[in-house]
Amino acid sequence: MNERFKNRTGEALKAADLSHHLHPFTDHGALADEGGPRVITHGEGVYLWDTEGRRILDGMGGLWCVNIGYGRKELGEVAHRQMDKLAFYNTFFKTSHEPVIELSERLAGLTPEGINDFFFANSGSEANDTALRLVRGYWAAQGRPERQVIISRKFAYHGSTVAGASLCGLPSMHDVPSLPIPGVVHADGPYAWHAGRDQHDPVYGADAADAVEAKILEIGAENVAAFIGEPVMGAGGVITPPPGYWTRVQEICRKHDILLIVDEVICGFGRTGKWFGSQTYDIQPDLMCMAKGMSSGYQPISAVGVGARIADALRRTPGVLSHGFTYSGHPVAAAVALENIDIIEREGIVDHVREKVGPSMRTQLGALTAHPLVGEVRGIGGMWALELTADKATRAPFDPLGSVATKVRNLCFERGLVTRAVREGLVFSPPLIITEAQIEEMAEILTGCLDDVATAL
């Protein structure tokens, strides 16, 4: 219990929130109509509690990030000790500190071979902004300033800053003027369900990768700086790559000498059953962006892992790298990230995801393929999606799009399960410590909600 916050009722908190708090990704009119937000008070393991005392199984792990689960006292203790010793110092002008040095070294040991240097920031968006700047700077320093274009993909999510939103392949992220920024283009993403193809078909894997090459040829390879992709697209709807996709995308990038940025913000730190999605799909990135699971959300911290090609060039290029954030490599966040990594390692959480969570979610959620509302189930490790459909044969969505997924999502929330509706899909990304029994509990609540929504339709 945190004494600082103990004296206000749920209703008073909701009213104050409605009066003074603007929320990310929220329809504020609808929020007010519904009487304000659900106020979450505490968490333990995979569960959350709200001001009404209801227990909720967090099927989204916060927001794809609370990999080690809630209520880990060790992280608070480490943060406390670090705040006492050195609450803050910057890493700008030829200074450093113990936590950031140790974290850099530690990440070098976990990331794929070839990624040995780390630049720190505070969010996934900032990591992707940094990557964009590094690749354009790299090419300019090589005397190739025309290589500026970044190829992203439709359905990608890469953040909400100006560069991050530009990199997103979701139309809603470009709904203000002048986004995307110049020099960011989007190839078709490997979304089998949407393309009317089979997610397990290697021919589709090759075709989807060829869409990247088609975009390169359209722009002219000589103008392209980099390709950016999530190993598995997360917020776009857990879009898993079809077989052979990443192998071929990498061949294409190599053939045209295009740098590869892998956005591991969701896939990193065990989510796909290896430390990084790049290891699951055998990807050798030039730059690797990470955040979320790096601290399991206990502190805001992110990083870009930098491969030798760019790191060596940076070290060779005279002058200052004029980029960074006050809190790049924040000592408290770095200390917490280190402790989080220790826990993941000590408790064998990555193996747990590969051996238990993934297979169990495949079985439990996969069984719902037979449900009348469900068209496809897909995922890997601790990230899964159900694609709902009005017609399994034509794959037609419901009208209006997303209406049924939103109903199921709202009912799940009422019955104590957090999921997220993405278009006509439902996504799941629970804390990675989830047990098989808790996955069963999740599937049971979900099945009941699907049944009841189907009956009401």
Residues in touch with ligand PXG (CB under 6 A): 25, 63, 123-125, 128, 157-160, 164, 230, 234-235, 263, 265-266, 291, 420
Q: How far is the CB of 118 from ligand PXG (least distance, A)?
A: 16
| Region of residue 39 (phi > 0: left; psi between -120 and 50: alpha; otherwise: beta) | beta
- By C-alpha distance, which of 324, 335, 153 is closest to 249? 153
Give the residue with the Cβ less far from ligand PXG, 5 or 25.
25
Give the residue with the Cβ less far from ligand PXG, 207 or 265.
265
Give φ, ψ of 239 to 5 degrees. -95, 105
Rounded to a whole number of angstroms, the CA Rg of the chain reads 22
Q: What DSSP designation does 391 have? A: B
Give the residue with the Cβ less far from ligand PXG, 131 or 185.
131
Give the residue with the Cβ less far from ligand PXG, 213 or 263.
263
- By C-alpha distance, which of 234, 241, 310, 311 is closest to 282? 241
* Greatest distance between any 2 Cα atoms in the chain: 68
Q: How far is the CB of 346 from ligand PXG (least distance, A)?
A: 26
Q: How far is the CB of 422 from ligand PXG (least distance, A)?
A: 7
Strands (E) across 38-128 are located at 40-44, 47-50, 55-58, 115-121
Integer Cα distance of 130 and 323 in angstroms: 8
Integer Cα distance of 429 and 158 in angstroms: 17
Give the residue with the Cβ less far from ligand PXG, 304 or 411.
304
Q: How far is the CB of 337 from ligand PXG (least distance, A)?
A: 14
Record the tokens describing residue 93, joined without a space.
């002008």
Q: How far is the CB of 268 from ligand PXG (least distance, A)?
A: 9
Record the tokens describing residue 136, joined without a space.
């354009």
In the complex, which residue's CB is closest to ligand PXG? Answer: 124
Q: How far is the CB of 203 from ligand PXG (least distance, A)?
A: 27
Integer Cα distance of 378 and 372 in angstroms: 16
- In DSSP terms, which residues pair with 153 in a beta bridge? 187
Integer Cα distance of 10 and 38 in angstroms: 9
Give the residue with the Cβ less far from ligand PXG, 207 or 229.
229
Give the residue with the Cβ less far from ligand PXG, 186 or 420.
420
Query: Would you say 257 and 235 are in contact if contact means Cβ atoms under 8 Å apart?
Result: no
Integer Cα distance of 46 and 177 in angstroms: 40
Q: How far is the CB of 388 from ligand PXG (least distance, A)?
A: 17
Give the residue with the Cβ less far from ligand PXG, 62 or 207.
62
Q: How far is the CB of 129 from ligand PXG (least distance, A)?
A: 9
